[in-house]
Amino acid sequence: MTKLTDSVAKPYRYFGGEYNTPDMAKQCDVRFCMCVADGYEVGMSNLGVRILYFLFNSLDGVVCERCYAPFDDYERYLKQRELPLCSLETQTPLASFDFVGFSMGYEMCYSNVFYMLELAGIPVCAADRGDEFPFIVGGGPCTVNPEPMYKYFDFFFVGEGETPWKEIIEDYRKQKTQYGVKKADFLRYVDEHYECIYVPSLHSAVYDGDRAVTIPDKRVWRNIESDMNTVFTPHTQLVPSMEIVHDRAVAELFRGCANGCRFCQAGFIYRPVRERTADNAFELCKDLLESTGYDELSLNSLSTSDYSGLQALLDKLFPYADARHVQLNLPSLRLDSFKGQMARGNRKSSLTFAPEAGTQRLRDVINKNITEDNIFDTLAEAFAEGYSSVKLYFMLGLPTETMEDVEGIYSIACRVKALYKQKRVSAKPLRLYVSTSTFIPKPFTPFQWCAFASREDIEAKQKYLADSCKKIGVEFSYNNYDGSLLEAVLARGGRSVADALYFAYKDGARFDAWGERFDFEHYRKAFDRCGVDVNAIVGERSTDEPLPWDFVNIGVAKEYFQSEYRKALNAQTTPSCNKRCNGCGLAKYGYCKDTHGNASY
């Protein structure tokens, strides 16, 4: 047989050994394997996994390892030798762990969960896994609607995990040490004792076709960590042996977003805003750089330029970074909060902004809360700072969108080109990129009741923009309609789609988030076989019908989403939470600083 190095590209994807790896040889009685159902390059960039990995390894008696989805060459290598999928750090088979946890970061990774479980020799369906197999656990943003994958996981963890996971592992250790753990007993225990835990096998749901009639009877509450200054935060990170997607030190400045964009699921499921102090953030940045040796640092959050301590932090970081030749990165910049001096730390290669819609009317519908002046004043500052490359992101298929709104995207591109001629200080010609994605009405947004746009509608708008942008020398890109359609099905579906997802995998679906690997035909056949009505899942919903995810409580009231939906249809905006409490529901649980907000719905 050929050697691994002769048969597998980049074998260091599968064998760990990264700088800053925790002690894997310490005494332990609980072993946890943290999995990302995507390739090493993507999975290593996952900040949530990174936090829990170091948290678990900081606990006495606990060892946490990692596993990522192997590519075809390593899959063949394993199968030829009849080897199971193993962890990176110690090459321990996944089936030998106490827990195997999957980070469910995006819906298009679901097929890779099946792929990894089968390679590991672990039964895919939870009902087929006896006490000899580990607990299969799902976490991450997709667990706000866990129902499409309900039969494949032993339990789901909803929300932020730093505090409860320490308690869950300690409960498991005590039970394991005292009398051994029976899977059914432990599942009942965590379901009863933890509001953020959902055990699907203990809660039934009834469907009429693809619409929920009754939902699970447990009220699952998203866990929210209240204080970013005291929550567990690793002050180091693994340094990979190969280039990864975000190959730099990454510091999380705050969680949540105050802006309330009505299309944005993350803006609601990560509420409220919780910031680090500037001093706390600076110490974190410094420790990350000094413990990793990186010469690039990214200041990450959902909307980095909204961080109230950003200027104070930059005042300390700029001289520190300059003295050590460290490049600062500020992603997630908003057009209404960007300031020219913020650009100083970025390479003068490119800035990225997201106006999202081409007209003010439609930006009001989606509550983007930026104006034409915000867009062009910000770009004028960027061009004055020497930038010559700008990427602008928009969405197509937004609720109430008309062709006039799409033409507005082209108009903005024309005006940006004219502005650059006026404000440029760079000798380089302007490189302007316009990119569009297809709007997906996701759970826990005011648009969760909206329909997903038709193929004819989206493709006609894409063609118009492609032709128009080509005429003026603007680079235009867009995403595949079928990929967006599947994401909408997985985001909005319930238990009725679960069997079809596994059949699609058996037909060949995997790495669906990778455009060159995605083939909707696997899903079309599976949906036909299982009688799944895609149009019913992605079509318009009534605001009073049960939704598959209604049993999950993220803290924002359903009545608030309904109120925001009505305001959207009238193109009425809602101000940022930083300006006033809009009564979304979180304040009554004590999560917000302002606990006196009155419900506005």
Mean pLDDT of 461-466: 98
Q: Is the pLDDT of residue 349 over 90?
A: no
- 């359903």: which residue's tokens? 558
Amino acid at 212: A
Give residue 535's region: left, alpha or beta (phi > 0; psi -120 to 50): alpha
Q: At what angle do helices 455-471 and 403-423 cross, to 10 degrees?
A: 20
Amino acid at 347: R
Q: Residue 441 and residue 484: Cα distance in Å, rounded?
A: 11
Residue 157 phi/psi, 5-degree rounding, is -110, 125
Q: Residue 106 and residue 141: Cα distance in Å, rounded?
A: 7
342 — pLDDT class (breaks 50, 70, 90): low
Residues 532, 503 contacting (CB under 8 angstroms): no
Q: Minimum mean pLDDT among 158-167, 202-211, 582-591: which range?
A: 582-591
- The rounded percent of the chain whose pLDDT value lies above 70 is 95
Return the DSSP state at 124.
S
Mean pLDDT of 475-492: 97
How much is the pLDDT for 540? Answer: 97
CB proximity list for 260: less than 8 A, separation 6 or greater: 267, 268, 367, 369, 564, 574, 576, 577, 582
Buried b (16+ CB within 10 A) or exposed e, 274-283: bbbebebbbb
- Burial classification of residue 329, based on how many CB atoms lie within 10 Å of its CB (0-12 exposed, 13-18 middle, 19 or more buried): middle
Q: Which tokens sit at 400?
A: 């109430």
The residue among 301, 330, 336 whose CA lies nearest residue 314 is 330
Q: Is the pLDDT of residue 347 over 60?
A: no
How much is the pLDDT for 595? Answer: 45
Task: Give the helix ranges, DSSP H, for 154-220.
Answer: 162-179, 183-193
**Domains annotated on the chain, with CATH:** 16-221 (3.40.50.280)
Mean pLDDT of 129-143: 97
Mean pLDDT of the chain: 93
Q: What is the pLDDT of residues 214-237, one digit of tens each?
A: 999 999 999 999 999 999 999 999
348 — pLDDT class (breaks 50, 70, 90): low
Q: Is the pLDDT of residue 597 over 50?
A: no
3-class secondary-structure state, position 580: coil
* Cis peptide leading into residue 272 (ω within 30°): yes
Q: What is the pLDDT of residues 496-524, one digit of tens each?
A: 999 999 999 999 999 999 999 999 999 99
How much is the pLDDT for 336? Answer: 63
Residues 504, 519 contacting (CB under 8 angstroms): no
Residue 208 phi/psi, 5-degree rounding, is -110, 100
Give 82-88's long-range contacts (Cβ < 8 A, gap of 24+). Answer: 84/119, 84/120, 84/121, 85/116, 85/119, 85/120, 85/121, 87/16, 87/33, 88/14, 88/15, 88/16
Residues 53, 32 contacting (CB under 8 angstroms): no
Task: Give the helix ranges, DSSP H, for 244-350.
Answer: 265-269, 278-292, 310-323
How much is the pLDDT for 165? Answer: 97
